A and B are shown apart, each in its own frame.
Chain A
């Protein structure tokens, strides 16, 4: 049984409400911070914990906080990124629905550490009912003296505001989020300047994911050093994984980062294997933007080592044979799923969500979608596969924000690992309409050299 730090009290009835949360040890961390710690000590504790951003990029949170510019007389802001729109990811929703006070406590501690007196939660518009939960929790926290002026007699002021987005994936990119929060069109800004210098209303701003901010609470409770002991190497602490797809028990799981991918998929404690005795074909381990992996490379790295649920191990082999931890949206495909169709639906998503600001992404995502549509509908040509490869190559790295990369990677990985399936679709257009390609040879590990040469 892995250690739980975030969801350990999620099962308690009424934990959503202030009284129950407080009775079960809630706001103890906030109390400790406000009474005994200085902002720098909190940052130091977070640095010691080795906490990495849980939104997808995995950037060390303590380091990010220490980059925040602190000019005199200029307000600083903390923004909580709750615009969780990555397909396959729904962990923040779970946190906010069941443990709103945990997030508020995390926000309070983080705001104190950063010296921010006004903090925003930017939540995606589709989570229509969650702002009510959060606002109720904020009201209760106010009533009990955890928000507002002079919190618990410490002299620290904080107000938290909830702002709803209007349903754009791009607003999860931190600068687009800031633009949207300012009431403008949600287009990503051109960096530099980074938000740590010029963010919200041109003031220094830190944007963190919901889970990252919530994780600050157990870090203060058990101490940064203790937190850093959980997990392997630089993947410290626990991570929420939202597992979905062809699994017996999909859902949100909190793992300490010591288990293997195989254990996560097949053990009864976690996902409980694949339904109807089917076999594993492929998996996207970290939300739709990260490269898809075939079963052989998912369970074992190209070096033949067991792949673990950690930032490093999932990234082992880089793009040729690895993937990424991403936001923890774990999507599993069984042998009856069609990778071409799957890639098409991702391409369609990125086409729909591109903001249209820079040309490679605006034009390239639509082009990829249409070419994939042709292949899927039996109108593809062999040259289309190379064309797709070329389009993604010209989008990747040439755009303003990472959405271009996120659109390019799934297509690149699908072609890299499942080229034979694409070719089968082109060569057997009619058969491809009736049934799927199946598992092919993915159960057997590819020789390392062949996999690396397919880059």
Chain B
């Protein structure tokens, strides 16, 4: 009886209706309740909106930085009206038949440019002396979406650097107020001791009053910080990330999973962090013992080199004489970026949606496709 109950449950789960969403003309099917951002991540590539404050592992995060704004050009099949404003894709759930424009909408790109400008307005741009440089989300974001110069002519806001706890340095001047560290402390530790103080432009992350953050998991705030506002005091100014070799390693830990990345040079471990995926989110949170106290290679079982995106500065520092490939597509497409030509079906003469490949016996031949322009 129990078995039958389980069976019916599993068939029900299989039959659960998926929502069909189109993002930048690319269709994808996702479960109801998925956000636009996660649907875009399912497609991957250039259609994924950048996210500075959203963190899939932290409940309630997102919606604040506004870099992931997208245009919903069709609400759903049931209600096809477009949404009046750009929406934060990280907090807006999909509807069946929704059509979303991200990089194909000039309005979105313009708004995003504005948001990047706002985020950089009071940022000190001290990348040359910042430990986060090379693995900084804000750096990547501004390279991709920002402008080369600022129009801000006023004094930028500054704060004193403070040590919050023995291992963590808070440099509030660099903070973009994503609230990720607040959510992390709230959800990973029993007692959150830091939060956002003050209001508006004067808001700051702080402990009230000058508490130190001392907790087994508080080090994770360093990993979730998208900029260099929270840094590891045991690794500050020791080395640049692109001079270090990241290796996957693990150890038996009674507090956490023990799976980390060691940032090494020779046999020396400079820094221990959690493993991050391609969106800069940690795979699993690690404890402070692993992060701050195990700084010798003999503490760890090294698994092998960490895969780093080839676009990252971390993997590029080791090579000399790299030739940049010649960009032909942009030349022949009158300056348009290849990624803006997304609706491949409308230009492709093979793989047309009207022809179902699974209905064709054996390998498909050109004769299986209808003639186009009289040419076979």
Contacts and interface: CB of A to CB of B under 8 A. Distances in A.
Given A370-B154, A398-B69, A399-B66, A359 B115 contact: yes
Interface stretch (B198-206, B215-223, B341-349): B198-206
Contact of B122 (A353, A354, A360, A363): A363
Given A354-B201, A365-B200, A367-B121, A360 B88 contact: no
Nearest to A393: B114
A357 B201 CA distance: 9
Nearest to B114: A394
B174 to A, nearest CB: 14
B202 A356 contact: yes
Give the interface centre of A360, A362, A366, A387 by most chain B CB atoms within 10 Å: A362
B199 A168 contact: yes
A230 interface: no
B237 interface: no
Contacts of B176: 359
Contact of B121 (A357, A363, A398): A363
B80 to A, nearest CB: 19
Interface string A144-179: 000000000000000000000000101000000000
A427 to B, nearest CB: 19
Contacts of B118: 359-360, 362-364, 367, 394
A355 interface: yes
A110 B200 CA distance: 35
B65 to A, nearest CB: 6
B146 to A, nearest CB: 13
B200 A356 contact: yes
Contacts of B65: 358-359
Interface string A329-350: 0000000000000000000000
Contact of A400 (B63, B117, B195): B63
A190 interface: yes
Nearest to B85: A397
Given A358-B63, A363-B122, A387 B151 contact: yes
Interface string A305-328: 000000000000000000000000
A363 B152 CA distance: 11
Among B63, B198, B199, residue most surrounded by chain A Cβ atoms (within 10 Å)? B199
B121 A354 contact: no
Contacts of A362: 118, 177, 200-201, 203
A40 B122 CA distance: 53
B120 to A, nearest CB: 9
Nearest to B67: A359
A376 to B, nearest CB: 15
A143 interface: no
Contacts of A400: 63-64, 66, 88
Interface in B105-147: 110-111, 114-115, 117-119, 121-122
A113 to B, nearest CB: 28
Interface residues of B, number: 33
Interface in B55-90: 62-66, 69, 85-86, 88
Nearest to A186: B199
Interface residues of A, number: 29
B369 to A, nearest CB: 45
A125 to B, nearest CB: 14
A185 interface: yes
B167 interface: no
Contacts of B195: 185
A249 interface: no
A359 B202 contact: no
Contacts of A366: 200-201
Contacts of A363: 118-119, 121-122, 201
Interface in A190-235: 190
A170 B66 CA distance: 19
Contacts of A281: none
A351 interface: yes
Contacts of B203: 355-356, 362
Question: Which of B65, B119, B151 is packed against the most chain A CB atoms within 10 Å?
Answer: B151
A356 B88 contact: no
Contacts of B69: 398
A357 to B, nearest CB: 5
Contacts of B110: 394
B196 interface: yes
A364 B342 CA distance: 33
A360 B115 contact: yes
Contacts of A365: 200-201
Contacts of A398: 66, 69, 85-86, 111, 114-115
B194 interface: no
Contacts of A359: 64-66, 115, 118-119, 176-177
A212 to B, nearest CB: 24
B175 to A, nearest CB: 11
A25 to B, nearest CB: 44
B200 A352 contact: yes
26 contacts: A170-B199, A190-B88, A351-B200, A354-B201, A356-B177, A356-B196, A356-B198, A356-B199, A356-B201, A357-B64, A357-B177, A357-B179, A358-B66, A359-B177, A360-B115, A362-B201, A363-B118, A363-B201, A367-B118, A367-B152, A395-B114, A398-B85, A398-B86, A398-B111, A399-B66, A400-B64
* List of 8 A-B pairs having minimum Cβ-Cβ separation, nearest first: A394-B114, A356-B203, A190-B63, A354-B200, A363-B118, A363-B121, A356-B200, A366-B201
Interface of A: 168, 170, 185, 190, 351-360, 362-367, 370, 387, 393-395, 397-400
Given A358-B63, A363-B121, 18 more contacts: A185-B195, A190-B62, A190-B91, A353-B200, A355-B199, A356-B199, A356-B201, A357-B179, A359-B176, A363-B122, A363-B201, A364-B118, A366-B200, A367-B121, A393-B114, A394-B117, A397-B86, A398-B66
